[in-house]
A and B are shown apart, each in its own frame.
Chain A
Amino acid sequence: MTTFFQVTLADFRESVRAKWFLMYSLVFGGAIVLLFVLGVTESRVMGFTGLSRLLITYIQLCVAILPIMILISTVRSVVGDRESNILEYFLSMPISLAAYFWGKVFSRFFLIFIPITLAMAGAIGWGAVKGLEVSWQVTGYYALLLGTLSWCFLGIGMFISTLVKKQEWGLGLSILIWLVFLLFIDVILIGLMLQQRIMESVIVGVALLNPVMVFRTGAVLLFDPELTSMGPASYVILDTLGYRGVMAYTIFYPMFLGWLFSCLGYFRFRKGDLV
């Protein structure tokens, strides 16, 4: 446990000094500031205004950029250490492979989650100062959604990081995976699949398996409970699972996916050559 804690702390410290973390924090902190500056809290969408409106816009932004930011920053984790010989040196110390791998995973999770949570907390704090009403239901659900999405893509990123031999391949693969996820959201390829009269169960299955689609559904669900702004696959999912079912699915599925890929990454890391 001590070793796990030491690795987590060491990786946290190393990453906080890294340029990617500075950029990552600036993007998500800057997004909130920008939304305030643009007066998003003053506008109204489907009955939502004030802080809830800002958080909805923020979460929509996160749908687009959070997965790729997480993938790009995480995918270099193990393979980057391997290329720079840091892995060779640290693994010559009496550190268990589990402590090394999971220490890195948890450190990265906090690193990813802290800036987006702080940005949300900052928005709520600033909103409170300005006298805006805070919707704790929206805030709580979105915090959970962001947490599970971060965990999901962190797991995928760590898995890729153990899979590839070079950072460039990892980055390429991350972008490819992100594009595939983006293409298979409701309004793009799924619409095309419907036109091609592909079986409904296949379409819904693809939509349910795509974490970006699931995150997007969760993001829209609170202000559009009928999912009218989404595509046809979402209606079927809502009909099948119900409102609370969809809500639970958007939380638990990414969490499961995150654990699945983290574990696959760990087994892959443990099984092969370490350096």
Chain B
Amino acid sequence: MKVRKVWVSTLALATAIAAAACGGGASTTNTESGTLTVWLMDGSAPASVVDGTNADFKVKYPNVTVKVELQKWGEIGTKLDTGFAGSNPPDVVELGNTLVAKYAAAGALEDISGKKSTFDNSGTWLQSLTDSCTVSGKLYCVPYYAGSRAIIYRKDMFASAGVQPPDSIDGLLTVGQKLMAANSSDPNFSALYFPGKYWYAALPFIWDSGGDIATQSGGKWQGSLSSSGSQQGLTTLSKLVSSLSKADKTGDEAKQDAAFAQGHIAMIIANGWEVGVITDPKAGDPKLADKLGAFPIPSSKAGQTAPVFLGGSDLGVAKKSTHQNLANAWVATLTGNKHMTEMATVGGVIPNTTSMLNLGTGINAVFYGAAKNSRFVPNSQNWASVENANVIPDMLVKIFTKQMPIPDATKSASDKITTLLNGS
């Protein structure tokens, strides 16, 4: 009954959009035709959600063919640049929330400020995602979903080492050392597996001790990784990594779930959906399902949690798209109540609206909770350059491999960030 209600309301919504779009009413919804190209990121939405969205869309627009193309995160910057540069860009694109500002500022995305109210829950969208879509006061995308990180741990390993999830960073080190001692016969054992380039997981430690990536004043950005707070956070993290992690100090987090599933790791810092990868029959080990627990990344102040990076994706419509109305209608279908609920319940991600935050149950509740104390990278059109230049991962590698002392590594990274963020 409920589903039907949602379906009807979505249909009504789409009709409303179509009516608004057609203005004079020269044509009706059903006669619009063409091919809509949609770029979604590989692994974002479960196939069932995408198929369901397309099926619902087909009912409303029977003459429109939707071509969903899944893109890989690794090369997405280059793909988007060339895609938007062409005269026939994809109509709908999923953009990592740190990338929107760059493309909006460059004129690649349609300004949808006037259409905001046509999307479900636009009044209760997650603030951090809405901020990522807003450039110079204008809305350039629709929040899609969010992800925040917490620590996934092996309950059985904790039990046999006689430890409990810690509630402070000092506690994390102590617990980790006990786990290392309890598993000293395993040369591959990591109490906390932390690959060197995993910068998303390093940010909470920086923020928790009062540091930041960059601060803005008078329209100018100033890198602040070399501030005393940032350095203190990195010192703490560096100590954790050197005593608890056997992960590749020059590697990234791409393989961490597969590594965790092999059974030589007690804790990883991960997104909620990674539980699914760890217990996947092909990529991981389904037997671990009831051995996994999660707790928030602790703060240096006992009993509190560290602020985490709120990752996520937004959906934008290309400015050069010749099917902007259809594109917005497709986005409205995917981000409507019905499919957004599925994204949370089937996909395990944090939905785009605070009104659905009660959907997180079990282990997912920890990740939903972490999202409440979350922060974001500098919201600048040049941030993507900082990301693509690997400034923070390179700094972390230099620190963890002890190629450079923390003050020098942070100074060099901070200067680079200042230059890149203020670049034209």
Asked if A and B bind, the verdict is: no
